[in-house]
Amino acid sequence: METTKLSSKGQVILPAAIRAANQWKAGVEFAVEDTGDGVMLRPLKPFATTTISEVAGCAGYHGKAHTLEEMDKAITAEIRGRNVRR
């Protein structure tokens, strides 16, 4: 078991062997959880980079494609309808 110390700035250095075993590089972000027995550090896993084409259509719309003009008209009509209902 390796040990480390808390610095005057509240920083803890993770031993090199643990960083290497987990392939953690500088800048890795961790969630910090207070457990009954101590503190747990859990590395945050960022979302993979995606493109618009990979996520387009994920809302489940299966109708015909609309033009920008049609979308603008629908948005304007909804805004007007919400203002009337208030």
Burial annotation 50-66 (CB, 10 A radius, 16+ → b, else e) = eeeeeeeeeeeeeeeee
- The pLDDT value given to residue 62: 75
Helical residues (DSSP H) of the chain, grouped into ranges: 16-22, 52-55, 68-85
pTM summary value: 0.49
Domain residue spans in the chain?
61-85
Determine the 3-state secondary structure of 54 from DSSP: helix
Q: CA nearest 26: which of 43, 8, 40, 7?
A: 43
pLDDT string in tens for the chain (86-residue length): 889 999 999 999 999 999 999 999 999 999 999 999 999 999 998 777 788 877 776 677 778 888 999 999 999 999 988 877 66
pLDDT at 84: 74
